């Protein structure tokens, strides 16, 4: 069964360091999402891609966060510099293209748990 892959699964870093997460969506899924889940809260959307284009990044802290999906397949989320408040689970999800008819289910990866010391 196809799955969304994420790496690393766990990351510990010191504040002020740079950190990057990788996501490989299910093959053929044009839409890719990055969510952040702070402990004790529900996931919140950071950025949404349709192919290589950003559809929604209104909640992405652009002074320190960046996301790219250069070839419209896998994606990288970067934080530079990391802050203590960035400690969270970062979840990637993918779905078929928007507007392709019907509701397109989001499939979630296992997440990357980030701890900033």
Partner 1 sequence: AQKVTQAQTEISVVEKEDVTLDCVYETRDTTYYLFWYKQPPSGELVFLIRRNSFDEQNEISGRYSWNFQKSTSSFNFTITASQVVDSAVYFCALSEDFGNEKLTFGTGTRLTIIP
Applying CB under 8 A, which residues contact partner 1? 31, 33, 35, 40-45, 48, 55-56, 89, 91, 95, 98-99, 103-111, 113
Nearer to partner 1, 35 or 65 (CB): 35
What's the Rg (C-alpha) of the chain? 14
Q: How far is the CB of 68 from partner 1 (least distance, A)?
A: 19
Nearer to partner 1, 56 or 80 (CB): 56
Q: How far is the CB of 16 from partner 1 (least distance, A)?
A: 26
Q: How far is the CB of 56 from partner 1 (least distance, A)?
A: 7
């Amino acid at each position: 069964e196809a799955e969304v892959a994420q790496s690393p699964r766990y990351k510990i870093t010191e504040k002020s360091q740079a950190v990057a997460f990788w996501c490989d969506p299910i093959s053929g899924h044009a839409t890719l999402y990055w969510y952040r889940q702070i402990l004790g809260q529900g996931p919140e959307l950071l950025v949404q891609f349709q192919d290589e284009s950003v559809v929604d990044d209104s909640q992405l802290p652009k002074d320190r966060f960046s996301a790219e999906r250069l070839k419209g397949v896998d994606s990288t989320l970067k934080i530079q510099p990391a802050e203590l408040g960035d400690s969270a689970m970062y979840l990637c999800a993918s779905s078929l293209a928007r507007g392709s008819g019907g509701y397109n289910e989001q499939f979630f990866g296992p997440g990357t748990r980030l701890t900033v010391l």
